[in-house]
Chains A and B, each alone.
Chain A
């Protein structure tokens, strides 16, 4: 059974329907990418898993639990965490306070977990007292990922982690995501940078106009003539 199982999902915002009949699975420890053109509903798919977009039909189960009707503050208890594309840290809080809220639902975060996060993102250890709003874009992205890892989730949802980063940081960001996945955490990523995401992931989905279009191994999609022509710019 899959860790995350989205089936026949209709979703959107209020009366607006963005997704229709979307299927999506992520296995334990798997690295899955969702790619597709702007407005394809990639982020909406991720937001509806976390209860931020409105689910209008279909079902979402995580680790055997039906989370279709869960609010965000309940979803987080199931063992998955979410890094939004923008505004993913609290700007007026310090780095330490942001990390503390990353583990808000736990009574106690093991010190070893904080250490592991600092080891992966050393910049966070050096800037504990700094107000998050004054960090650079790349540092904020690192902090947002650090916060999501405070729960040691089974699955982490990353919404366009490379968006707005300087080109030399994009590679580093993808390396960090590889690290997280190698430690056993399943990753579901939405990316504008489709080629790089497909190169790195185990499996990918191509979404267009709110519907499943293609699905397959990352390399398989990268080398597919149709996918290349329609979605990867040749």
Chain B
């Protein structure tokens, strides 16, 4: 496989990480906490989608909508039960609570849904582009033909749709502008008459909706099991920090950097070293933080 093919893989991975990372980074910036249970939100969204398709049964796009609504509500419910009551205690107790909550959710899902991987039964159409000639340098092909499946196009298309909608929300609506304002200065937001608890609730719902969509897309693209979301949380976290924690635009950029690095390092590292490809994403993260602690988007990474 050539470079072009691996860039496609990287963009697909970057796409669902980005959808999730936007929600993660908004929680970080506005609720001021690292939500380590967030990976489980992806898993729950994916399972709601699979259940809706299998039991009701609804067509996949409708099931995705059901999953997003369910994900939003669950996220709000969990926040009200576990995070809102300890909002004043600071970031560390909230982080620890979320680690515990994630553990409970993960094993709860494992108990009810079992250990096996599930997937959406979709029929993928594959588009092949074999016209590109290989451009070999040693054993590495720097160009080459590639293919893209309809599933991959759906993942990338959804991501672009999400970016546009989130951008519109954050720059054109009162709720969105209030969210950004709270990220800047919560006390001043209150002085302006902003009901900060309502805005926090909105952020939880939005983050839950995005996580559920990312989970469903992950299920379409590969498969989901109880540990799926958890296996993504470090990538999501790295993407958010790489982009400048709290900045949704930075998180998008960070996600594609992570996605591309994962895909390219898997493809082009010598055979014996592919095991460290996921570590390379973190090496880049460390590198960026050493050179530019504020992340790609330039916003200050605050104490957490």
Q: Name A residues whose Cβ lies closer than 8 Å to a Cβ of B.
A: 50, 52, 71-73, 76-77, 81-82, 84, 87-93, 97, 100-102, 104-105, 147
B121 interfacial by beta-carbon distance below 8 Å:
no
CB-based closest 4 A-B pairs: A105-B193, A76-B193, A72-B190, A90-B184
Minimal Cβ-Cβ distance residue in A for B171? A97
Q: Are B191 and A72 in contact (CB under 8 A)?
A: yes
For this complex, 16 residue pairs linking A to B, each with C-beta atoms less than 8 Å apart, are A50-B191, A52-B191, A73-B191, A77-B193, A87-B185, A87-B188, A90-B180, A90-B184, A90-B188, A91-B185, A92-B299, A93-B180, A101-B181, A101-B189, A101-B194, A105-B192
Residues of B with C-beta under 8 A to A71: 190
* Further contacts, 5 of them, CB under 8 A, given A93-B184, A97-B171, A101-B178: A77-B193, A84-B191, A92-B183, A97-B180, A102-B192
Cβ contacts B74-92/A at 8 Å (1 or 0 each): 0000000000000000000
B196 interfacial by beta-carbon distance below 8 Å:
yes
Residues of A with C-beta under 8 A to B299: 92
Q: Are A101 and B183 in contact (CB under 8 A)?
A: no
* Minimum CB–CB distance for B214 against chain A, Å: 25
Q: Are A88 and B177 in contact (CB under 8 A)?
A: no
CA of A90 to CA of B177, assembled, Å: 10
CA of A89 to CA of B192, assembled, Å: 10
Minimal Cβ-Cβ distance residue in B for A87? B185
Q: Are A52 and B181 in contact (CB under 8 A)?
A: no
B150 interfacial by beta-carbon distance below 8 Å:
no
Residues of B with C-beta under 8 A to A88: 188
CA of A91 to CA of B191, assembled, Å: 15
Q: Are B191 and A92 in contact (CB under 8 A)?
A: no
B136 interfacial by beta-carbon distance below 8 Å:
no
| Count of chain B residues with a beta carbon within 8 Å of a chain A beta carbon | 20
Residues of A with C-beta under 8 A to B191: 50, 52, 72-73, 76, 81-82, 84
Q: Are A104 and B188 in contact (CB under 8 A)?
A: no
Residues of B with C-beta under 8 A to A100: 174, 177
Minimal Cβ-Cβ distance residue in A for B177? A97
Q: Are B193 and A104 in contact (CB under 8 A)?
A: yes
Minimal Cβ-Cβ distance residue in B for A157? B191
Q: Are A90 and B193 in contact (CB under 8 A)?
A: no
CA of A134 to CA of B174, assembled, Å: 22
Residues of B with C-beta under 8 A to A101: 177-178, 181, 189, 192, 194
CA of A152 to CA of B178, assembled, Å: 21
Q: Are A73 and B193 in contact (CB under 8 A)?
A: yes
* Minimum CB–CB distance for B181 against chain A, Å: 5
Which residues of chain B in 25-80 are interfacial with respect to chain A, using CB atoms and an 8 Å cutoff?
none
Residues of B with C-beta under 8 A to A87: 185, 187-188
CA of A102 to CA of B178, assembled, Å: 11
Chain A interface main SS type: loop
CA of A81 to CA of B195, assembled, Å: 16
Cβ contacts B164-204/A at 8 Å (1 or 0 each): 00000001001001101101110111111111100000000
Q: Are A73 and B181 in contact (CB under 8 A)?
A: no
Residues of A with C-beta under 8 A to B193: 72-73, 76-77, 104-105
Interface centre among B180, B184, B192, B194 (most CB of A within 10 A): B192
Q: Are A91 and B195 in contact (CB under 8 A)?
A: no
Cβ contacts B132-153/A at 8 Å (1 or 0 each): 0000000000000000000000
Q: Are A73 and B184 in contact (CB under 8 A)?
A: no
Q: Are B180 and A73 in contact (CB under 8 A)?
A: no
* Minimum CB–CB distance for A115 against chain B, Å: 21
Residues of B with C-beta under 8 A to A105: 192-193
* Minimum CB–CB distance for A147 against chain B, Å: 7
Q: Are A93 and B190 in contact (CB under 8 A)?
A: no
Q: Are A73 and B188 in contact (CB under 8 A)?
A: no
Q: Are B181 and A84 in contact (CB under 8 A)?
A: no
CA of A191 to CA of B77, assembled, Å: 47
Q: Are B178 and A104 in contact (CB under 8 A)?
A: yes
Q: Are A104 and B174 in contact (CB under 8 A)?
A: yes
CA of A89 to CA of B194, assembled, Å: 14
Q: Are A90 and B190 in contact (CB under 8 A)?
A: no
Minimal Cβ-Cβ distance residue in A for B197? A73
Which residues of chain B in 186-237 are interfacial with respect to chain A, using CB atoms and an 8 Å cutoff?
187-196
Q: Are B184 and A91 in contact (CB under 8 A)?
A: yes
Interface centre among B174, B185, B195 (most CB of A within 10 A): B185
CA of A84 to CA of B180, assembled, Å: 19
CA of A90 to CA of B188, assembled, Å: 8
Residues of A with C-beta under 8 A to B188: 84, 87-90
Residues of A with C-beta under 8 A to B184: 90-93
* Minimum CB–CB distance for A38 against chain B, Å: 22
Q: Are B187 and A90 in contact (CB under 8 A)?
A: no
Residues of A with C-beta under 8 A to B174: 100, 104
Contact of A90 among B171, B185, B195, B196 (CB under 8 A): B185
Given A52-B187, A87-B185, A87-B188, do A92 and B194 touch, yes or no (CB 8 Å)?
A: no
* Minimum CB–CB distance for B178 against chain A, Å: 7
